[in-house]
Amino acid sequence: MCGRLSQYHGIHDFVDALSMPGAWANEIGDQPLAHYNVAPSSNVAVFTPQRVHWLRWGWRPQWARDRAAPINARLEKVAHSAFFRAVWGHRLIVPVDGWFEWVDEGEAKKQPYYIHRRDGLPVFCAGIGQWGAGDDDGFVIITADSIGGMVDVHDRRPLVFSPALARAWLNSDGDKAQAEQMLLNLSEPSEAFSWYRVDKAVGNVRNQGSELLRPLR
């Protein structure tokens, strides 16, 4: 987890869901994002404490250029890892409509599932990253072990906050230890989400469009 996202609503829809209208400088624009099949290394719209802007999905420190940039950071290690030390205090929110996971159901190709909130709210994923530094900019989504029925879809899940806690996560003055406790104890439970099978066409990142989100009959 989490290897593919959908981010198709407009930024103002995400801002309204956070109940902080006008709180950020918007560098994205007002139109729907219409990104239904977002792959790693793509530019993704993210909230940082001061603005909404594009940021590349994936990050690594300068001294780790000999390895691929990870797209996720494990909760169990992120707060105390030398790899993420430079960006642990640089918190951001990745607002998405949902994400995809692939399940081995005994066929030649794994079956993709689309996961989204049951209540229709945006999914506010906790992330950390680097911005304003040029070519080294990027972000990762923080993940944890799946719980409940979500285990049947994938053993890892993004850490998702309610709108109120997403605002708190973006508080750049917040204590780092408190931020870790938020991740450990306050993310949304698996019961907040629903998932269904979708067409295997989503496996090809060149395929885009709302039809990728239709449930299989």
Which residue's entry shows tokens 């450990």? Answer: 184
Domains of the chain and any CATH numbers: 5-207 (3.90.1680.10)
Q: According to the model, what pLDDT value does residue 148 have?
A: 67
C-alpha distances (whole Å) from 175 to each of 1, 27, 188 are: 27, 28, 21
Q: What are 121-173's pLDDT values in tens digits?
A: 999 999 999 999 888 999 999 998 877 667 667 778 899 999 999 999 998 77
Q: In angstroms, rounded to a whole number, what is the distance separating the alpha carbons of residues 34 and 46?
A: 15
Q: Report the distance separating Cα 192 and Cα 124, nearest Å.
A: 12
Active-site residue set: 2, 101
Query: In the chain, which stretches have pLDDT less than 50?
Result: none
Burial of 25 (0-12, 13-18, 19+ CB in 10 A): exposed
Dihedrals φ, ψ of 117, to 5°? Answer: -75, 140
The answer, yes or no, to whether the previous bond of 125 is cis (omega within 30 of 0) is: no
Which pLDDT score, from 0 to 100, does residue 147 have? Answer: 77
E strand or H helix at 55, and its extent? strand 51-56
Check if the beta carbon of residue 128 is closer than 8 Å to that of residue 34.
no
